[in-house]
Structure 1
Amino acid sequence: MMQAANSNATRAEAGTTDFVTVFVGETMFGLAINRVHDVFIPAGVTPVPLSPPEIVGLLNLRGRVVTALCLRRRLSLPDREGETGRMAIGLEQGGETFALIVDGVGEVLKLGTDTHEAVPINLDARWRDLSLGVHRLDGHLLVILDVDALLAFGTPNLTAGAA
């Protein structure tokens, strides 16, 4: 009987995924930890003329030029009042480094399939295509973001070649 309990625990552990939680306002989002390379405070962002509205600008991250992308704008939310307290998540996509600008960074959560659900049909259409699903947690919802979809804006050819 003890061996069955141990194998169930092992299976449960194997079915978990770690997520870095980030906040935009009061909404909590999750990013798969294997996609996150850095967490930092963005400084010295240089605007890029004629860039899409989601692009805040370029910044220097340990000697690399990084494209800074505003998660608020990517989710079609209004800009936040003031520039203080912002954080950035370093992500890699196609050999490029991006800084995802968020309102705040939370903790790392290890979540299993028992709390995971498909993207709800009533989730805002602007968010639905950027989400992989949700986790219902004690009184709140964690929306899991699809990093590939987040960073595929303005580049329709990225997905066309994969088809």
Structure 2
Amino acid sequence: MNETGKGLTESKKGELLQYLTFKLIDETYGINVMQIKEVLRYSEIAPVPGAPSYVLGIVNLRGNVVTVVDTRVRFSLPECTITDDTRIIIVEHDGEQIGLLVDAVQEVFYLYQGEIEQSPSVGNDEALMFIQGVYQKEEELVILLELDRMFERNEALGIEAMS
């Protein structure tokens, strides 16, 4: 079969994107790598009194104070148990660095914008509003997150006040 017989052309598939996958319980999630600054091993997090329930506290990252969010709590999932695989994904949102505590980081993969499917309306409403879409990667469904929705302006202000 020739190239045109293989399906959509690259232009119809859209932009080529790169995602980092991570685990929360048994689900696989993905974040666009363009929003990720770095991935850290778990380190001591200093609690912040009066912070929202999903904010674990702050860490010092080379002289910068970074707010760390418990991604499980943010998605209304049970709290995380810290293991050797636990990581903090440092992302940038509106010029601020925010850490996302996750169970484990897996891999980086590529997909075309046109391969992202609309998310089915299942799960709790809290987590659904953070989902950009889903991608069927071999035998695994990857839930692609929209960080802008995770940290709406009013919530970001609360996080920024701690940074």
TM-score, normalising length from structure 1?
Answer: 0.82
The percent of aligned pairs where both chains have the same amino acid is 25
Deviation, 1:13, is: 7.9
The gaps in structure 2 that reach 5 residues or longer are 159-163
1:95-134 matches, cutoff 5 A: 95-113=95-113, 115-134=115-134
Equivalent positions of 1:48-63 (< 5 A) are 48-63=48-63
Gap runs ≥5 in structure 1: 159-163
Give 1:161's aligned residue.
Answer: none
Residue 29 of structure 2 aligns with which residue? Answer: 29
SS in 1 for 2:65: strand
Answer yes or no: is 1:86 the counterpart of 2:116: no
**Alignment TM-score, normalising by the size of structure 2:** 0.82
Higher mean displacement: 77-86 or 17-26: 77-86
Does 2:147 align with 1:147? yes
CA RMSD, 1 decimal: 2.6
SS, match of residue 46 in structure 1: coil
- Counterpart amino acid of residue 130 in structure 2: L
Q: 1:153 and 1:139, CA in 2 relative to 1: closer, same or farther beyond 3 A?
A: farther
- Structure 1 residue 53: Cα displacement: 1.0
Counterpart in the other structure of 2:161: none
Rounded Cα–Cα distance in structure 2 between residues aligned with 1:4 and 1:85: 43
SS of structure 1 residue aligned to 2:136: strand
Separation (CA, whole Å) in 2 of partners of 1:106 and 1:12: 29
Provide the secondary structure at the position in 2 that maps to 1:149: helix
Identify the range of structure 1 (98-107 vs 80-89) with the bigger mean alpha-carbon deviation. 80-89
Q: Which residue type is aligned with residue 131 of structure 2?
A: S
Equivalent residues, number: 155
1:71 paired to 2:75: no
- Show CA shifts across 1:128-153 (max 9, x none): 10000001122221000111111228
Report the CA distance shift for 1:93/1:15 in structure 2 as closer, same or farther (over 3 A): closer
Contact 1:12 / 1:112 at 8 angstroms: preserved in 2? no
Using the alignment, how far apart are the partners of 2:150 and 2:19 within structure 1? 16
Counterpart check, 1:43 vs 2:43: yes
Q: 1:92–1:74: structure 2 CA closer, same or farther, 3 Å change rule?
A: same
* Paired AA for residue 49 in structure 1: P
